[in-house]
Structure 1
Amino acid sequence: MQSLALIVPLLDEEKALPALIEVIGRLDPQPTQVIAVDGGSSDRTCELVRQAGWTLVETARGRGRQINEGVRAASSTLACVLHADTTPPIDMVEVIRDTLEDDRIALASFTPLITGEKTRWFTSAHNFIKTWYAPLITRPHLFFRGVRLLFGDHAMFFRRADFLAIGGCTPGDAVMEEADLCVKFAALGRIKMVRRVVRTSDRRIAAWGPLKANWIYFKVGMMWAFGLRSRMEKNYPDIR
């Protein structure tokens, strides 16, 4: 049975953490490790992590850098990057192990359903379709090889050794770090979205409104495609 570490990148997530801690505590089977990687929180995030008994890694801000540090700190065979506002299914660990039993799959994720006071069906559908049209627009040669672009709220998972072999995330990336990962992992094998749902918070849509949110997602994606990395974070405002 392969060991699994959940890597949870954090920044000022004291509001979201209690629910995530409860859900992870109910996973069956349990992950081998839960590694929280804090990027300089100014609230009670680190205190809550310690109370939960998780491993805490503290590093500089930037989700790409945080994911790298979390994977390096893990001792497991498999790793899954889980955002604080994403709720996984109870059998998450089993799903990950079963999926990565297929050596042809290099990278995989769950299917996100964006929810809050209501389910955001339009944006959830757009996110699903975007996994196909994003590579078609930005990396056509990868699209015609069957590559999909997965995103952070999908709860992406992979073999730790593969992640280290491809160099992990681009360290300075705070936004779209997962898109680069997909491009790198495509050299190793298939990229798959499994037909199991994770529920992710609609807090950005609630703050921005559906049309503005989808416009921001599209705009930042195009900036990534055309190499405008320095402008991505500025155009993806923090809503915490």
Structure 2
Amino acid sequence: MPAHTLSLIIPVLDEATTIEATLGSLEPLRARGVEVIVVDGGSQDATVALAAPLCSRVVEASRGRARQMNAGAAAAGGEALLFLHADTRLPEAADRLMAAALAGGHRWGRFAICLEGRHPLLPVIATAMNLRSRLTGIATGDQALFMTREAFETVGGFPDQPLMEDIAMSRRLKRLSPPACLREKVASSGRRWEQNGAWATILLMWRLRFRYWRGASPEKLAREYRHVR
């Protein structure tokens, strides 16, 4: 998979404090021909103005991470797609690592994760996330999901739901092939655990995932998640 066939899609909403650093870290990939698309969901800050000079294009979409990622995929020109959170940095050779994984027969995959911050539990949380993902074949958006365009289109893209869209997408993609669980790590912000409390956040996410597995609607879970935050 030549690098110029890769499109990297970043959904954003009011990310003015992080977007320049995120896009700046992607300059080596852009220099190798990777398309970088920022999908804005209606930011009220300077996100769009800051992002425009540092990416291939900015796309506007309805608010909602799933909708934004689907809009970015529709605008992308690559034969492979990578979905990146605005507070997450890829390893320098991410395009080559993806290429090797997809060329090896996998149709989708994810990176391992490390969480940046001062809380002593963050390395433990990251290790648990990586182990859980490897055992279950389910990936979260923090781990930078990637896939072939053909796989994305076969499963119909991300489901239009306000929470757990990454879990639902992983389940769809698992029907096509097992994921490539790359050991190379993306670096993601641990601010969620630091701001809301590590144990409280862990328990909240496990409770929400369990209820989702039991059939609770993503809309109801999203309302609870926003209320707690």
TM-score (norm 2): 0.91
Q: Residue 182 of structure 2: which of 194, 198, 202 is its match?
A: 194
User: Unaligned regions of 5+ residues in structure 1, if any?
Assistant: 136-147
Q: Deviations over 1:214-235 (max 9, x none)?
A: 0121122123212221222123
In the TM superposition, what whole-angstrom CA distance separates every residue of 1:65-109 from its partner, at most 9, and x where no partner exists? 111111111111101001111111111111111111022x12101
* Aligned residue number for residue 219 of structure 1: 207
CA-CA distance at 1:26 after TM superposition: 3.0
Match of 1:56 among 49, 55, 58: 58
**Preserved CA contact (<8 Å) 1:20 1:85:** yes
Of residues 56, 64, 67 in structure 1, which corresponds to 2:69? 67
Q: Identity of paired residues, percent? A: 27
What secondary structure, in the 3-state scheme, does the structure 2 residue paired with 1:235 have? helix
**Separation of aligned partners in 2, 1:116 and 1:38:** 26
RMSD over equivalenced CA pairs, Å:
2.0
Native 8 Å contact 2:20 2:54 kept in 1? no
Q: Where in structure 2 are the equivalents of 1:7-156 lying within 5 Å?
A: 7-27=9-29, 30-103=32-105, 105-117=106-118, 120-131=122-133, 135=136, 148-156=137-145
- Sort the Cα spacing of 1:238 and 1:15 in 2 relative to 1 into closer, same or farther, 3 A: farther
Match of 1:99, SS state, is: helix
The answer as to 2:178 corresponding to 1:176 is: no
User: Between Structure 1 and Structure 2, how many residues are aligned?
Assistant: 225
Contact 1:31 1:93 in 2 (8 A): no
User: Post-superposition, which runs of at least 4 consecutive aligned residues in structure 1 deviate over 4 A?
Assistant: none
Structure-1 separation of matches of 2:76 and 2:119: 36
- Checking the alignment, whether the CA contact within 8 Å between 1:38 and 1:56 is kept in structure 2 is yes
Asked if structure 2 preserves the Cα contact closer than 8 Å seen for 1:5 and 1:31, the reply is no
Gaps of 5+ in 2: none
Which is helix-richer, 1 or 2? 2
Check conservation: 1:29, 1:94, Cα contact below 8 A.
no
Displacement after TM superposition at 1:118 (Å): 5.3
**TM-score of the two chains, using structure 1 as the length reference:** 0.87
For 1:158, the equivalent position in structure 2 comes to 147
Question: What is aligned with 1:138?
Answer: none
Q: 1:217 to 1:225 in 2, by over 3 A?
A: same
* Separation in 1, partners of 2:222, 2:96: 34
Q: Which amino acid aligns with 2:144?
A: A
